Amino acid sequence: MAKFWKNTLIINHLLQFIFIFSSVYFAFWLTNRNETNKLKKLEQQAIEGVYLELHGNLTELEKAMPYHEELVDVLFSYTDSLSKGLKNISGENKPIHHLMQLLTRKESAAGIPQLKSSAWPTLQQSEAYILLDYEVASTLSALYQLHEAGVTATVHQLRVEVFATKDLFIPGQTEPILNMAAWSFRELYGQEILLKKKTEEAMALLTEKYDIKK
């Protein structure tokens, strides 16, 4: 009889241990699951933010590219005429006078695309970054690096070497300034073509991997 009660006591203790262990494990699993779901929600929101930013950048590129393609042709045609002496650049005409005649847009004469680049760094700094698919992370990282090293860097060079130089107001510098403008806009247009292609590829990847509301 004593042996029976002893065995019963052992079984009761064992069952209590199993119950306590199961309760703790279930609570841990539930907490971990809730945390994972929270991170997945953050990931989805962050990815949607990146997609919207890329969509806006794509729109900006599509607006700028036709103008820059045309402007490159106009600038090189004009500089070719200058080099052949077909246009008179003597007198008080300064480089800026010639340049402004060729920039035909009334607003934002240079047609620089207003690109944004905050969504990806924000995602990188969030907790959701650890859940990102490797292909998505590497694609977005490469895309935003291209953005900075390509269009953004070229726009900066264009502003410094063409629009912010004091030579822009010196009559004798017309041909060099317009040549610089022609080559800079050609470089910008080429960078825009590449960035547009890579942006479209990244957006397609995001729609493949995530439920993106367009």
> Confidence class of residue 36 from pLDDT cuts 50, 70 and 90?
low
Give me the pLDDT at residue 121, please. Answer: 93
Which residues are CB-contacts of 185 (< 8 A; sequence separation ≥ 6)? Answer: 68, 71, 72, 75, 158
* Contacting residues for 36 by C-beta, under 8 A, at least 6 apart: none
Answer yes or no: is 108 within a domain: yes
Confidence of residue 174 (pLDDT cuts 50, 70, 90): confident
Give the span between the Cα atoms of 173 and 162, in whole angstroms. Answer: 11
Report for 14-23, 29-38, 116-125: range of highest mean pLDDT: 116-125
The pTM for the full model equals 0.80
Q: What's the whole-number average pLDDT of the chain?
A: 82
Q: Which tokens belong to 113?
A: 């695309």
In a domain, residue 15? The reply is: no
Helices (H), 94-169: 95-102, 119-124, 134-147, 153-158
The answer to whether position 159 is within a domain reads yes
Tell me, yes or no, whether 152 lies in a domain.
yes
Burial of 103 (0-12, 13-18, 19+ CB in 10 A): middle
65-86 per-position pLDDT tens digit? 999 999 999 999 988 888 777 6
Q: Is residue 17 part of a domain?
A: no
pLDDT band for position 22 (cuts 50, 70, 90): very low
Instruction: Tell me whether residue 111 is in a domain.
Output: yes
* H/E segment holding residue 130: none
213: left (phi over 0), alpha (psi -120 to 50) or beta: beta
Q: Confidence class of residue 127 from pLDDT cuts 50, 70 and 90?
A: confident
| Residue 149 belongs to domain spanning | 39-209
- Residue 128, token pair as written in the block: 């959701």
Within a domain: residue 10? no
- Give a yes or no: residue 98 inside a domain: yes
What is the total count of domains within the chain?
A: 1
Nearest-angstrom CA–CA distance, 58 and 119: 14
**pLDDT, average across residues 90-104:** 77
